[in-house]
């Protein structure tokens, strides 16, 4: 039986291994990216690294080589994996993701190990594994990560942690609103440690939000209103790879996939499909404009001109569904005509109703309310241009 390769531990942006002598080794993991602690989360950094190490040992070199073979698209023998490196990337509200590097000769193959410590994370991670598996079978695209394994382990005889092993989008980074250089306004900055001042042009911003909307719409079912739910751009759910002239966006998580509305069998009329598609579009428009400053600060509103890109992405997502004949071209035409005939009051009433559905305690709510009138005007203006697209 092949021997398990040696394992080293690192923080995200450091090249020196973290050992049991490191100052963080015996400290508790933060609860979130704000580095707040919680009595619920008692796992230390050291226990976190040991948990992943035990998990990889449980999988064994043969299974790891099978997974590496899928990434490399060629057979990899277990003996070819000479080293495993575990980089603790960040502390999220649901998971503490680690970037797993498999050293295969001179090649480095990256995977992600999402570690759920809290009850909320553990309740979510098994559902996410199911959703990603299901969506990969139905849609067969490369916008969502492939997942390979999900299981629970007990650490030190007391703490339960849940692990999900999946695809790491190498070269992709989070992007968030940030204070632009020499300006009072905000701009989109890519979280690339190799280029910390990587701000995007207005055209690149349009492309990013068009692709984000396209991904969400391509996974939206007009017949059942099932959608990727509970996503939040501020949490880093969308990532981007910028290699001019190309820009590629991916969605790294699917915590929920559920209906926007619970429709009865008698409610699958064209009128219902058109109205629910409109609400899906308006809700997506609203949510994509909510961010946190630099991804970790206070809630901020994206006042850049992104609605036209979101609308273009919505229709591109529908067109992608037409290719495998999930959606008929005639239905897309009907949606277009329906959108063109909406009144300004229709849009205003529906957007106001969507804001009313935001949790009263949500920090998003006051920011959305403050910018709602301008947002509605942006949506109305974008729809008025729909006929010329």
Answer whether residue 257 shows pLDDT above 90: yes
Answer whether residue 72 shows pLDDT above 90: no
Q: Judge whether 60 lies within some domain.
A: yes
Q: Are 48 and 151 part of one and the same domain?
A: yes
pLDDT tens-digit readout, 201-217: 999 999 999 999 999 99
Please give the share of the chain, as a percent, with pLDDT higher than 90.
69
Give the least confident one: 11-25, 304-318, 325-339.
11-25
Looking up residue 93, the CATH number of its domain turns out to be 3.30.200.20
Q: Are 155 and 200 part of one and the same domain?
A: no
**Count, residues in the chain:** 389
**Domain-terminating residue out of 150, 167, 184:** 167
Q: What is the pLDDT at residue 343?
A: 94
Angle subtended at Cα 377 by Cα 376 and Cα 378, rounded to the nearest 5 degrees = 90
> Cα separation of 44 and 22, whole Å?
12
Q: What is the pLDDT at residue 86?
A: 96
**Domain-terminating residue out of 135, 151, 167:** 167
The average pLDDT across 213-227 equals 95
Q: Which domain holds residue 337?
A: 175-388
- Determine contact, residues 338/366, Cβ cutoff 8 Å: no
Rg over alpha carbons for the chain, rounded to the nearest Å, is 22
Q: Judge whether 343 lies within some domain.
A: yes
With H, G, I as helix, E, B as strand and everything else as coil, classify residue 168.
Answer: coil
Of the candidates 140, 129, 83, 88, which has an alpha carbon nearest to the alpha carbon of residue 109?
Answer: 83
Q: Are 111 and 209 part of one and the same domain?
A: no
Domain tally, the chain: 2
Q: Are 46 and 104 part of one and the same domain?
A: yes
Q: What is the pLDDT at residue 193?
A: 78
pLDDT tens-digit readout, 315-370: 999 999 988 888 899 999 999 999 999 999 999 999 999 999 999 999 999 999 99
- Taking all residues of the chain, what is their mean pLDDT, rounded to a whole number? 90
Q: Are 279 and 247 part of one and the same domain?
A: yes
Q: Are 87 and 182 part of one and the same domain?
A: no
> Cα separation of 159 and 163, whole Å?
13
Residue that wins the pLDDT comparison between 228 and 192: 228
Q: What is the pLDDT at residue 82?
A: 93
Give the least confident one: 55-64, 132-141, 200-209.
132-141
């Amino acid at each position: 039986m092949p021997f398990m390769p040696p394992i080293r531990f690192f923080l995200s942006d450091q090249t020196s291994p973290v050992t049991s002598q490191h100052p963080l080794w015996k400290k508790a993991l933060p609860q979130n990216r704000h580095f707040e602690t919680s009595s619920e989360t008692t796992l230390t950094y050291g226990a976190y690294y040991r948990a992943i190490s035990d998990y990889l040992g449980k999988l064994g070199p043969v299974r790891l080589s099978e997974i590496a073979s899928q990434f490399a698209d060629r057979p990899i023998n277990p003996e070819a994996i000479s080293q495993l490196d575990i980089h603790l990337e960040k502390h999220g509200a649901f998971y503490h993701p680690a970037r797993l590097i498999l050293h295969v000769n001179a090649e480095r193959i990256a995977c992600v190990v999402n570690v759920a410590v809290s009850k909320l994370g553990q309740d979510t991670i098994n559902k996410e594994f199911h959703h990603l598996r299901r969506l990969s079978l139905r849609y067969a695209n490369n916008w969502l990560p492939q997942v390979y394994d999900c299981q629970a382990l007990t650490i030190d005889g007391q703490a339960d942690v849940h692990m999900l092993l999946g695809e790491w989008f190498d070269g992709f980074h989070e992007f968030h609103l940030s204070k632009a250089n020499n300006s009072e306004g905000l701009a989109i900055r890519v979280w690339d440690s190799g280029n910390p001042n990587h701000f995007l042009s207005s055209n690149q911003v349009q492309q990013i939000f068009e692709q984000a909307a396209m991904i969400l719409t391509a996974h939206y079912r007009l017949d059942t209103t099932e959608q990727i739910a509970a996503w939040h751009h501020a949490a880093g759910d969308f990532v981007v790879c910028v290699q001019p002239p190309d820009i590629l966006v991916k969605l790294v998580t699917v915590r929920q996939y559920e209906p926007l509305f619970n429709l009865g069998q008698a409610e699958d009329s064209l009128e219902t499909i058109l109205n629910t598609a409109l609400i899906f579009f308006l809700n997506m428009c609203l949510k994509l404009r909510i961010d946190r400053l630099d991804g970790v600060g206070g809630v901020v509103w994206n006042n850049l001109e992104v609605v036209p890109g979101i609308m273009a992405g919505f229709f591109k997502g529908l067109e992608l569904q037409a290719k495998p004949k999930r959606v008929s071209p005639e239905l897309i035409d009907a949606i277009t005509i329906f959108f063109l005939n909406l009144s300004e009051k229709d849009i205003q009433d529906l957007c106001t109703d969507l804001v009313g559905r935001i949790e009263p305690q949500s920090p998003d709510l006051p920011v959305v309310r403050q910018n709602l009138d301008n947002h509605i005007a942006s949506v109305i203006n974008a729809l008025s241009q729909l006929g010329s697209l």
